[in-house]
Amino acid sequence: MENRVEQLRKERGLRQEEFARAIRVSRQTVSAIETGKYNPSLELAFTISDFFELPIEEIFIHERKDVL
Amino acid sequence: MENRVEQLRKERGLRQEEFARAIRVSRQTVSAIETGKYNPSLELAFTISDFFELPIEEIFIHERKDVL
DNA sequence: CTTATAGGTAAAGGAACCTTTACATATTGC
DNA sequence: GCAATATGTAAAGGTTCCTTTACCTATAAG
């Protein structure tokens, strides 16, 4: 899943370390999410959403699978 | 985190087993989410959101922590 | 060149998510 | 009562998420 975390963070002039402190995770977690190593938990996705004041859907881009 | 999965599933007249098959997880996972044992991954939250055609924010209710 | 800053990443450990198999309870229909 | 259906849950195992500690590279400043 793609995400706009790095872009949004930089728009706000924050370093990974500052952002990590703000959302109460480690800097490594921020780095891993930004570089696409893994997705955040739903809980953390909400925290990031709250921080940027944007819906989850505008930060994390989910490729909808066909059918369902 | 609270969620409206059980309510939305029942509104659509689905059993846990049918719903689980539709979103490609085990019935136990559906049960665990509905009974609040744990939250879905962000990926699964998106899949559920797609299935119900509702934003994640209208299915999963996040208690926003103060400050940030 | 040396120092400081920003960010990527590895390793080890723990917590959370999800699976399969299996059993238990409650409800419904006969 | 008996069988079938729907849901809850436990156990064991695998994967993903997140932590701390630590090191590495790149860039910029002096």
A13: which 2 tokens?
A: 């002039």
Share of chain A above pLDDT 70, in %: 96
- Residue A19 structure tokens: 């952002």
For residue range A29-52, list pLDDT tens digits in order. 999 999 999 999 999 999 999 999
| Interchain pair B42, A47: CB under 8 A | no
Q: What is the pLDDT of residue A64?
A: 83
Grade residue B39 by pLDDT with cuts at 50, 70 and 90. Answer: very high
Domains detected in chain A: 2-60 (1.10.260.40)
For B28 and D12, how far is CA from C1' in angstroms? 15
3-class DSSP assignment, residue A61: strand
Cα dihedral across residues A37, A60, B62, B66: positive or negative: positive
Q: Which protein residue has its CA closest to C1' of C8? A: A31
Higher pLDDT, B54 or A65: B54
Q: How confident is the model at residue B68, as a pLDDT?
A: 56
Of B6, B56, B39, B35, the C-alpha closest to A55 is B56
Chain A contact probe: residue of B2, B38, B56 with most A CBs at under 10 A: B56
**Crossing angle for the helix pair B27-34 and B16-23, nearest 10 degrees?**
110
Nearest to B6 by CA among B64, B55, A64, B20: B20
Q: Classify residue A66 by its DSSP letter.
A: S
Residue B57 CA to nucleotide C21 C1', Å?
34
